[in-house]
């Protein structure tokens, strides 16, 4: 197990390095000039050249890349081209908001999707299975921005139960929680549907297996059979999916950050790409890729920990 964990860790690091390098090069392939964006129309050619020199943008791409790698390994992500603030500080300002949004978005999916899928599988073709099936497909089919806008109109504008914009007052956790409800629902609702359908089909498969039949034959209570023996196995594909879903939620966070005017990494990287703010793009891509790699690594290790068959195969 230890060797497996180490191998996966090395793989995760390689993924981060490859993705970061690829995206670093990709942004330089894009047309566009950060000096024009940074200094505006009034800047002279000399001013632009000086700016490019100070930012190291006049150096060959390979040199810039090697410098970026060296700085990255030393923990220095550089400085924002426009605001002249350390990229690490800017990312650290935004990261907690993105993490909170992602965790709460997944929270909706886990808290509603898994029980719903489980219950639907226990009584297949029952009323709950049929209704939850329709609702799950609807949740998947409705675009997140539609959910966001309707949630805003209903809960913020009409009922005024929840705030429409922002991330809440710092040091006021209840307020921050209130500000999380609608955006996390908007990005998590689709995943509620996914998880409900996935858990249902996994459960149906597991419930038909021999060890479940044997447990029932021993007279073990149905609730224990379902939750202790069946769900433990059925939830394994869900855990793997949750690891991958972090990446989707990180990208889905962009629209939530725009619609709900929240700070976060999604909007940060979007703006940075648009304005060709190279240090910020590189830094943000590094952090989000690392985050994604960590989540998939954790999911893999958790699956290996929970499933003896996976452990045996390592």
Residues lying near other proteins in the complex (CB under 8 A): 30-34, 36-47, 50-51, 80, 82-85, 90, 93-94, 152-153, 156-157, 160-170, 172, 174-175, 177-178, 258-264, 267-268, 273-276
CB-CB contact of 203 with 121 (8 Å): yes
Q: How far apart are CA 70 and CA 76, in angstroms?
A: 9
Residue with tokens 């955006």: 183
CA 82 distance to own-chain centroid = 27
Least spacing, CB of residue 38 vs other proteins, in Å: 7
Nearer to other proteins, 90 or 233 (CB): 90
CA distances to 12, 38, 55, 58, 88 from 76, in Å? 20, 22, 14, 20, 8
Nearer to other proteins, 167 or 203 (CB): 167
CB-CB contact of 69 with 82 (8 Å): no
Nearer to other proteins, 97 or 200 (CB): 97
First to last CA, the chain: 7
Nearer to other proteins, 178 or 248 (CB): 178
Nearer to other proteins, 39 or 110 (CB): 39
CA distances to 33, 192, 278, 290 from 273, in Å? 11, 31, 7, 19
Q: Give 231's contacts (C-beta < 8 A, 6+ positions apart).
A: 118, 203, 206
Least spacing, CB of residue 110 vs other proteins, in Å: 16
CA distances to 110, 121, 215, 241 from 230, in Å? 17, 11, 10, 18
Nearer to other proteins, 168 or 279 (CB): 168
Nearer to other proteins, 36 or 141 (CB): 36
Least spacing, CB of residue 102 vs other proteins, in Å: 17
Beta bridge partners of 79: 86
Least spacing, CB of residue 108 vs other proteins, in Å: 14
Q: How far apart are CA 305 and CA 117, in angstroms?
A: 23
Least spacing, CB of residue 186 vs other proteins, in Å: 12
Least spacing, CB of residue 31 vs other proteins, in Å: 5
Least spacing, CB of residue 140 vs other proteins, in Å: 25
């Amino acid at each position: 197990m230890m060797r497996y964990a180490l191998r996966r860790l090395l793989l995760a690091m390689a993924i981060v390095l490859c993705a970061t390098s690829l995206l670093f090069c990709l942004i330089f392939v894009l047309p566009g000039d950060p000096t024009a964006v940074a200094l505006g129309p009034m800047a002279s050619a000399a001013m632009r050249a000086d700016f490019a020199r100070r930012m190291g943008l006049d150096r060959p791409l390979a040199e810039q890349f090697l410098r970026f790698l060296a700085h990255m390994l030393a923990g220095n992500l550089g400085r924002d081209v426009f605001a002249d603030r350390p990229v690490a500080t800017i990312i650290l300002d935004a990261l907690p908001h993105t993490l909170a949004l992602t965790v709460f978005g997944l929270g909706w999916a886990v808290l509603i999707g898994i029980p719903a899928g489980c219950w639907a599988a226990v009584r297949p073709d029952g009323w709950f299975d049929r209704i939850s099936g329709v609702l799950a497909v609807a949740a998947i089919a409705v675009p997140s921005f539609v959910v966001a806008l309707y949630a805003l109109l209903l809960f913020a504008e009409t009922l005024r139960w929840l705030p429409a914009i922002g991330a809440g007052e710092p040091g006021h956790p209840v307020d921050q929680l209130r500000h999380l409800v609608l955006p996390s629902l908007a990005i998590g609702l689709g995943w509620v549907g996914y998880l409900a359908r996935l858990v249902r089909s996994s459960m149906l498969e597991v419930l038909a297996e021999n060890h479940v039949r044997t447990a029932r034959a021993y007279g073990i209570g149905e609730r224990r059979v379902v939750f202790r023996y069946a769900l433990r196995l059925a939830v394994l594909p869900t855990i793997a999916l949750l690891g991958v879903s972090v990446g989707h939620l990180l990208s889905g966070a962009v629209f939530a950050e725009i619609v709900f005017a929240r700070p976060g990494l999604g909007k940060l990287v979007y703006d940075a790409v648009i304005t060709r703010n190279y240090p910020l793009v590189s830094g943000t891509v590094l952090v989000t890729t690392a985050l994604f790699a960590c989540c998939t690594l954790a999911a893999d290790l958790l699956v290996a920990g929970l499933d003896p068959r996976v452990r045996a195969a390592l």
